[in-house]
Structure 1
Amino acid sequence: MRSMGIAAALASLLLLTACTTAPSQASSPASSSPDDSTATDGCPAGTSEHDGLCLSGDATSVALAEVLHRQFEADHLTATIAGVWHDGEPVLFGALGDSLPGVPATPDMHHMLGNLTTPMLTTAFLQQVEAGVISLDEPISTWYPDLPDADTVTVDMLLHNTAGYSQFTGQADFLADLYADPFRVWTVDEIIDIGTEGGPVFPPGSDWMFSDTNSAVLVGILAKATDRRVEDLIQTGVLDPLGMRDTTVTRDGNWKQPILQGYDGERGVWENVTGWSPSWAHFAGGVGSNAQDVGTFLDALASGELLSSKYHDIQWAPTTVGIGANTPDQYWAMGFLVVKDWMFLNPTIPGYSGAGATLPDEGWTIVVYTTPSQATDPAAPSATDITRAFTGILSPEHSLAG
């Protein structure tokens, strides 16, 4: 199974020609409400339709569109949705391909996000730290006394992936159960038990390893410490303040319409996996949204508007530098990777490949999601390749494409 982990290496960009589909109405990430000044061609204000995509019309937008078309064809994708904004204004917005046979994909379509939800979770978590409900230095034994090394592992270690708990999606028993019943509704404690079985794989705090098990434990702690549902904390602490009305925090996959359909062959047969239960990802990945809402959140993550300046700095701090493979140019912050000053995440989940990035100092924000066809290489990180190529166009000094 392709987990929601961070891609380990930069992949090469493939440049070929591609086909297009018609765009649909979208707004800039400054607001999740449709722009009243939308142009007659269905594009957001400040853009117009070019070969099926809404572009601002400058050389940058044209270069971005060329990359998107070429990668779409090169990877034999079923659909691609992409948005690029500069200081909240759309530079490129649109979709290529089909959601269902004969049904064009549109950029307002909703789908599971994967780990682009993780910084939503860590933001809601830090809001409770700021309120004095939880301490970063507190051992997790306060809430989970029976977990391995619970007296040693701290909240901060979970947030920074230095706790040592293994990735639950890599466990054979979990995969067997998921494939046997992809509609099963998982509890967070079931996920925690799978990921923490056997204890940390290294002394807590001594090394770094990406693991969604850490996020599952954070979800459990947040619920226990506040005596509230985590979905409510994310709703009131993140989504409502930003006006993210197209984002659904749910464990049943009942996303808002329209929905981008996802396909996969993980169980040995090519099938539509859109209706698979997202409960195994809970609120560190099991959230549904669309490109414009994700862009809204990434802008807020960059600006720090949901946290005080102190906790915004803590969220982005290079605390993990020098631990494991983390370096000043590439380190894990609280819920996301920072690479050459870009905040970067690239979720890969059944049916979808995604990537999101924001460069705070220059005001760029990128959101890309793709769905494969049977001809797509299962190992191809399509959304990652597109996003990295985009960064080279937008900010050569901070390019991730090399």
Structure 2
Amino acid sequence: MTRSTGRTCSRVIALCTAASLLSTVSGAVTAAAVPRHRPPCARTEGRPRGAAAEVLGIVREARRELDLKAALVRVTVDGRELVTGAAGESMAGVPVTPAMHFRIGSVAIAYLGTILLQLVDEQRVGLDDPVSHWLPGLPHGDEITLRMLGDSTSGLHDYVTDPEFVKKLYADPFRQWTPRELVGISTSHPLWYEPGTNWSYSHANFVLLGRALEKITGTPLDRLVRARVLDRLKLTQTRNGVTPQIPHPVLHAYDDERGPYEESTYWNPSWTTAPGAVLTGDICDLARSAQGIGSGELLSRRSYRVQLNPGTVGLGTPTATCPATVCLPQTRAFHFGIGVIVRNDWVLQNPSFAGYAAVQAYLPAERLAIAVSTTTGPGAPDSNTAQTIAERIAAALAPKHPLGG
């Protein structure tokens, strides 16, 4: 993330979860709004030793080094807790706790991809069905398939690269954006390439995928995500945000992308993905999500393999119409699947939004799940700081499988 107003456009582009990794109304609801089907996420009890102590040491050191306001972590092995912890403050004088809720952004994109593949498993759709069947009138809808929306090979322009969009977003970060507005910005530009022939991240893909899933199932997206992912994984603290509110207790965020370092907790995330998939959660749910999505728990073996490699490897070639900052090389070791990122055998998502950053990462070979959430201080680097911490934890716990480059 950029630290000056001169680079605001690139700051918003970094919210594209894959691109950021491969180079993404005040008031809180009452505690009663969040069901407590399990005890609130809490720190590891007792004095941590061994690997647990090492992980907490990495988090504390990184918080100081990277100038983070707060950092939360949870690591599990085969679903069993190794360590859960938090360091720093939510607000001045308010210590951060693992029970605090934060925005999980593009983690929902993994859920959309998973739901699509569930429908393929049920033979209700085919990945190569054209989206025009459910979204008539979409430009190039006869050429763009469900697979291309899910693995980001549609060629659709990413609206966050539009300078006019960035200008409006920063002028009013509380604005409620509609899918029609967002997709309209994308389709007002030419395709970056012929659908299916290259790779480039576009937020429009997932706005459209969410709408297509609603049309296919006849179910509102928030209910669809709840029934097919959240409930099945028992993610009781994960909620769709109809408004910019975040359930209590809240991890507050601060950001300087508009110039001054200011509170950004309740900036409106409506532009980030499809309505019904704008989610908040806590660090325990994030670790469980990493395990459930990363292991393919909700899919057939065949669909899980497709999710990890839908045919993107070898794509990502810069062209005259698709610059190197957009068309990023997809290799077997580092590529985008259907709603997930695959890096050195890790399956992950790494959202970043308005001072919040997070990572959910799972290493199937070790059954190791890492979840990290951070908020930034005024001197924090431009990168996804949760990703940096997760990489250091992975290096300590699984040195043969680096999460970093």
5+ residue gaps in structure 1?
12-30, 50-54
Give per-residue Cα distances to partners, 1:332-369, cap 9 Å, x unaligned: 11111111100122221112122221001111101111
Residue 48 (structure 1) aligns with: 46
Q: Residue type of the partner of 1:387?
A: A
* 8 Å Cα contact 2:208/2:274 also seen in 1: no
Structure 1 contact 347–354 (Cα < 8 Å) conserved? yes
- 2:285 equivalent in structure 1: 293
Aligned length: 368
- The one-letter code sitting in structure 2 at the alignment partner of 1:303 is S
One-letter code aligned to 2:264: V
Poorly superposed stretches of 4+, deviation over 3 Å = 7-11, 282-285
- Higher RCO (C-alpha 8 Å, min separation 6): 2
* Partner deviation per Cα, 1:261-295 (whole Å, 9 max, x = no partner): 01112222322111112211244862100111111
Match of 1:144 among 135, 138, 146: 135
1:9 positional shift: 6.5
Q: Is the CA contact (8 Å cut-off) linking 2:119 and 2:125 kept in structure 1?
A: yes
Aligned residue in 1 for 2:17: 5
Deviations 1:274-322 (A, max 9, x none): 1112211244862100111111122111332222223222222352112
1:88 aligns with 2:40: no
| In 1: Cα distance, 2:354 partner to 2:123 partner | 38
TM value normalised by structure 1: 0.86
What SS class does the counterpart of residue 365 from structure 2 fall into?
Answer: coil
AA at the equivalent of 1:181: D
The aligned runs of 1:380-395 (5 Å cut-off) are: 380-395=383-398
Instruction: Provide the C-alpha distance between the structure 1 equivalents of 2:98 and 2:402, rounded to a whole number of angstroms.
Output: 25
Is 1:121 aligned with 2:112?
Answer: yes
Q: Which of 333, 337, 341 is equivalent to 1:337?
A: 341
Aligned residue among 208, 224, 231 for 2:199 = 208
Q: 2:68 aligned with 1:77, yes or no?
A: yes
User: What fraction of aligned residue pairs are identical, expressed as a percent?
Assistant: 32
Residues 155-304 of structure 1 aligned to structure 2 (within 5 Å): 155-283=146-274, 286-304=278-296
Cα-Cα RMSD: 2.2
The runs of 5 or more residues in structure 2 that have no matched partner are: 1-11, 24-35, 317-328
Separation in 2, partners of 1:9, 1:224: 31
185-194 or 213-222, which deviates more: 185-194
Deviation at 1:195, TM superposition (A): 2.1
CA distance in 2, matches of 1:329, 1:122: 20
Provide TM-score, normalisation by structure 2.
Answer: 0.85
Give the Cα separation in 1 of the matches to 2:220 and 2:353: 24
Question: Hey, what does 1:33 align to over in structure 2?
Answer: 38
Cα deviation for residue 194 of structure 1 reads 1.6
Contact 1:248 1:288 in 2 (8 A): yes
Farther-moved stretch of structure 1 (165-174 vs 283-292):
283-292
